[in-house]
Amino acid sequence: MQEGAMEQGSTPGLSRGLLSRHIVMMSLGGVIGAGMFLGSGSTIHLAGPAVVVDYLVGGILLLFVLFALAEMSIHKPVAGSFLVYVRQYVGPMFGYLAGWLYWFCWVLVLAAECTAGATFLHFWLQGVPLWVLSLIISLALTIVNLFQVRAYGEFEFWFAGIKIVTIVLFSLLGFLLLVGAVPGHPAIGFGNLTARGGFFPTGFSGLAGALLVVMFSYGGSEMIGLTAAETRDPGRTIPRAMVGVVWRTVLFYVLPLVVIVALVPWTTVGTGESPFVMVFRQVGVPFVDHVMNFVVLTAVLSSMNSGMYAVSRMLYSLGQQGYAPGWLMKLSGRRVPIRALLASTIFLWIGVGIAYEWPDQVFNYLMSIPGFSFLFVWLLILVAHVGFHRRVPKAELEKLPFHAWGYPVSTGLGILMLAVIIGLIMMSAEQRLGIWTSLGAMAVMLVGYGFVRRESRREVRP
């Protein structure tokens, strides 16, 4: 493998079939998974009603990262997106680390979601072994990703729409319960927002602890940058999609959480059933367990679908940059990186096998990696944005149809916020496992980078 084997600006063969609505839903599909419906109680349990502040702070940081990524993506719309930008504007070693770390994180998340999806299917198909259901899910989504990218985008658009409709419906029904507009239910009001210790019942420590979980929830939104090489008219489409992703992501997290902490005492959330089930049951939705199992299953499948797109395009780009074997760049007749997709699927199966065989040992250690690593990738994106502005001629920057709002203040503030959040992680005893596991994974990847560098020197030697 020769480092930088292909010119960074070239992305031959990929089809530009994605529209703005496709990439918005793909990014939302990667961000809003089953954790939104089942795990939202954990952040409330940590911070109380103030968890809303955490999601707003995370939204501001998301804005800084995505706008920085948008500006670089418009200037150079390539497969791999931030891998290429980090390589060019921060350094080859960091580009290698960002690409492989992102790919590895998504493979782990996919394995966890595939395992969860099999569990949800098992709710109806109890006679079928879980491993068979996991295999069916992974094969079905691999087939979907083999379609031409526009067909895949349409699939994800409607698939992700199910969970978004559920969130909107939940928020509407919850608001009606709050104001007493549901027959047979007196108005609950908004007293729960300040009862039981006030709006900040657990203080700064609870707010900080929940912020770490919130930032992991927003991880995956940067996937939108990977679509730049397959998007029609990226100069117009990418900025519009980035703005849409930011406000929709924040809205679809903040609205339901406001409803939950207003409806239910925060001290009871996170200790029992899903808050969504609690509200739908109060309103009298029939077969609520089956309805929510279907919604959560589609949320998992949508998130997995977006994740499989992310791992295949990232592995394809790693091959382009000489950071992975060149044969991974092979495209199918539909102009899909078929070998990168199938290779990622094989590693997904390995991850699922580990999850079933050693769920409380090896896999738990591995799943502590994504939370810290997504933040590290965001930090590299912002540092690359600084290098981008320093190295690209000013006249060339002025011609771009979109500019990151508030640069350099926005990018600098984003770097500071991420540094503080990563510092909080390092000081947290609960997050110590994730830190050391992530650093260990990075060390292994850097050893791999040493081999890549050595091979590249051999190839250029006369």
What CATH number should be reported for the domain holding residue 275? 1.20.1740.10
In a domain, 212, yes or no: yes
| Residue 408: cis peptide before it, omega within 30 degrees of 0 | yes
In a domain, 375, yes or no: yes
> How far apart are alpha carbons 458 and 412 in whole angstroms?
39
Average pLDDT, the chain: 80
- Say what the pLDDT of residue 2 is: 45
- Say what the pLDDT of residue 270 is: 62
How many Cα atoms sit within 13 Å of 152 on the Cβ side?
30
Residue spans of alpha helices (H) in 321-408: 338-357, 362-366, 369-391, 394-398
Quote the number of domains for the chain: 1
- Say what the pLDDT of residue 380 is: 95
In a domain, 420, yes or no: yes
In a domain, 10, yes or no: no
- Say what the pLDDT of residue 33 is: 66
> How far apart are alpha carbons 66 and 61 in whole angstroms?
9
Instruction: Classify burial at 162, counting beta carbons within 10 Å of its beta carbon; exposed 0-12, middle 13-18, buried 19 or more.
Output: middle
Q: Which domain holds residue 176?
A: 20-451
- Say what the pLDDT of residue 85 is: 92
- Say what the pLDDT of residue 390 is: 93
Asked if 279 and 170 count as a contact pair (C-beta separation under 8 A), the reply is yes
Instruction: Classify burial at 241, counting beta carbons within 10 Å of its beta carbon; exposed 0-12, middle 13-18, buried 19 or more.
Output: buried
C-alpha pair distances (Å), 416 with each of 68, 69, 420: 15, 17, 6
Asked if 148 and 335 count as a contact pair (C-beta separation under 8 A), the reply is yes
In a domain, 137, yes or no: yes
Among 401, 62, 109, 370, CA closest to 245: 62
- Say what the pLDDT of residue 23 is: 66
Low-confidence ranges of the chain (pLDDT < 70): 1-31, 33-39, 79-80, 148-152, 225-235, 270-274, 282-283, 359-365, 367, 428-431, 455-462
In a domain, 405, yes or no: yes
Q: Which residue has the tokens 């992310």?
A: 310
In a domain, 11, yes or no: no
Report which residue type is found at 215.
M
In a domain, 140, yes or no: yes
- In terms of pTM, does the model score above 0.75? yes
